[in-house]
């Protein structure tokens, strides 16, 4: 395949969107010229990408995180002006633009530049609960060369919603960054030595018990309290680790399980230093939206990268992946006793679940998927 110049446009900080970070890495590895128009990127993430590949970044600067209504408007206007300028500069050399997510689409809504360029549009969520973003996404999906979503059912739903001519291309949220390269890089909050010290402390406190990990956004909809309640019933067998940004809900969870070990936010992909030392990965979603029911979490592949058996609830996004692969157990979370039973089964059949988890990770070939994607353009 001839080398292409692919220009990614992403209004969010690039490290906060692991699927885009992965695609940049893979396409660079395949020999394509990559430019990225975005707000900001941590130096360590840029170093990670540039260990072997040159990626050209066009950075606007960090957006304002203030809560005033005018702040969001100003952020959108700033990125619209900045990205339009940079896209115009690159229009003659670019083979394709890759627009990422709803915030990028919002900033570029009705921007004249979008009528002049050929672009891929990747949609990371299913906007059944937001009519506003659903309309924004529709406009971009109808005009794109190809649309990308991370899950089969989402592709079908978007095609039906918007009467698309083509079903969106499915690019799973699989982590592919070379993990062994991370140890020589440091972040602002966590350097390698500090993460190793945290890992050592976790193992000491677990004292031989199976370590159950939840990583990601810490909220009630993730049903963390139910799993913690189950772990509390088996204090001699399991130890619970929670990794994610500190909030009031963390304190509520510690009241349920005082020995819970909490790690504040660690930027992706550096959080994988913690993921690799645990025994069981936990993930669950409620039924409040189709986006949750047909979930496509990065965690499936972050856990399976290290062969972690997974404890999940039975939403179809998890039962159709983790459940079908027998890489873990997907059970009804309405009963804590069912979660207790599932943890017990994961413990007793640990080796087999671990083997299946590793197989799940290997069955998705992201390089082939990216090659096929470019052939479809």
CATH assignment of the domain containing 151:
3.40.50.2000
The pLDDT value given to residue 376: 85
The pLDDT value given to residue 193: 86
The pLDDT value given to residue 25: 87
Q: Which residues contact 68 (CB under 8 A, 6 or more apart)?
A: none
Domain of residue 333, residue span: 186-363
In whole angstroms, what is the distance from residue 164 CA to residue 168 CA? 8
Residues lower than pLDDT 70 in the chain: 1, 50-53, 177-190
Q: Which residues contact 362 (CB under 8 A, 6 or more apart)?
A: none
In whole angstroms, what is the distance from residue 17 CA to residue 26 CA? 15
pTM, two decimals, is: 0.92
In whole angstroms, what is the distance from residue 4 CA to residue 33 CA? 6
Boundary (domain end) residue, out of 116, 148, 171? 171
Please name the residue ranges forming H helices in the chain.
Answer: 18-29, 43-49, 69-90, 101-107, 131-143, 152-162, 192-206, 224-232, 248-256, 272-275, 290-293, 299-304, 316-318, 324-325, 336-348, 350-363, 366-375
The pLDDT value given to residue 185: 60
Q: Is the separation of the CB atoms in 27 and 34 below 8 Å?
A: yes
Q: Which residues contact 36 (CB under 8 A, 6 or more apart)?
A: 7, 8, 10, 14, 24, 55, 56, 57, 58
Same domain, 78 and 137: yes
In a domain, 54, yes or no: yes
**Residue 215 forms beta bridges with which residues?**
243
The pLDDT value given to residue 182: 65
The pLDDT value given to residue 1: 64
347, burial (CB in 10 Å: exposed 0-12, middle 13-18, buried 19+): middle
Residue with tokens 């299946």: 356
Same domain, 53 and 130: yes
In a domain, 181, yes or no: no
The number of folded domains in the chain is 2
């Amino acid at each position: 395949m001839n080398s292409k110049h692919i220009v990614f446009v992403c209004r969010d900080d690039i490290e906060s969107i692991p699927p885009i970070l992965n695609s940049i890495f893979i396409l660079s590895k395949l020999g394509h010229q990559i430019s990225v128009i975005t707000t900001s990127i941590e130096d360590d993430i840029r170093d990670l990408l540039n260990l072997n590949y040159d990626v050209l970044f066009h950075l606007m600067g960090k957006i304002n995180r203030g809560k005033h209504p005018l702040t969001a408007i100003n952020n959108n206007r700033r990125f619209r002006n900045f990205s339009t300028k940079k896209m115009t500069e690159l229009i003659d050399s670019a083979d394709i633009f890759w627009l990422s997510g709803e915030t990028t689409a919002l900033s570029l809504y009705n921007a004249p530049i979008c009528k002049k360029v050929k672009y891929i549009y990747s949609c990371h969520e299913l906007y059944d609960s937001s009519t506003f973003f659903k309309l924004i996404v529709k406009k971009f999906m109808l005009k794109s060369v190809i649309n990308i979503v991370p899950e089969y059912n989402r592709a079908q739903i978007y095609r039906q919603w918007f009467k698309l001519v083509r079903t969106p291309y499915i690019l799973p949220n699989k982590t592919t960054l070379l993990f062994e390269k991370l140890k020589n890089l440091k972040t602002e909050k966590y350097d390698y030595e500090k993460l190793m010290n945290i890992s050592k402390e976790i193992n000491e406190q677990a004292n031989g018990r199976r370590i159950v990990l939840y990583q990601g956004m810490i909220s009630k909809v993730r049903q963390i309290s139910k799993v913690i309640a189950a772990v509390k019933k088996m204090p001699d067998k399991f130890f619970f680790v929670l990794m994610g940004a500190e909030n009031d809900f963390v304190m509520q969870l510690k009241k349920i399980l005082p020995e819970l070990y909490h790690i504040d936010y660690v930027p992706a992909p550096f959080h994988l230093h913690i993921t690799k030392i645990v025994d069981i990965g936990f993930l669950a979603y409620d039924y409040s939206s189709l986006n949750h029911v047909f979930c496509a979490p990065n965690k499936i592949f972050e856990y399976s990268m290290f062969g972690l058996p997974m404890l999940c609830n039975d939403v179809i996004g998890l039962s159709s992946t983790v459940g079908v692969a027998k890489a873990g157990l997907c059970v009804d979370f309405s009963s804590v006793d069912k979660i207790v039973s599932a943890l017990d089964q994961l413990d007793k059949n640990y080796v087999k679940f671990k083997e299946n988890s590793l197989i799940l990770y290997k069955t998705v070939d992201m390089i082939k998927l990216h090659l096929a994607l470019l052939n479809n353009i």
